[in-house]
Amino acid sequence: MKLTYEVGSNRIVGAQLLSKHDITAAINTLSLAIATKQTTQQLAFADFFFQPEFDQQWNYLCALAHAAYRQAKEIQPVAL
């Protein structure tokens, strides 16, 4: 999985997912995040449905966005 975002604003501009399972819902979620100009922080802390008996508490898209958000905090924008 890859999440592409703008440095500085952290706005999500692209994503790559590869799986042998049906990930249509994840792709639709990322498409909506891009269309609505969400940031990595907004996606990282989005509330997704889960069932404690079957799922993990954190959705993997939230985990991906959270990793990108942490990474973005370490990157300093360079003025051109």
**Could you tell me where the beta strands, DSSP code E, fall in 1-80?**
2-5, 12-16
User: Residue 75: which pLDDT band, with cuts at 50, 70 and 90?
Assistant: low
pLDDT of residue 66: 82
Average pLDDT of the residues in 20-33: 91
3-state SS class at 3: strand
Query: Are residues 41 and 66 in contact, defined by beta-carbon separation less than 8 angstroms?
Result: no
Q: What is the pLDDT of residue 63?
A: 80
The whole-model pTM stands at: 0.69
Asked: is 2-74 a CATH 3.40.640.10 domain? The reply is: no
pLDDT digits (tens, 9 = 90+) for 47-58: 766 556 655 556
Integer CA distances (angstroms), 20 to 7, 24, 44, in order: 31, 11, 24
pLDDT at residue 34 tops 70: yes
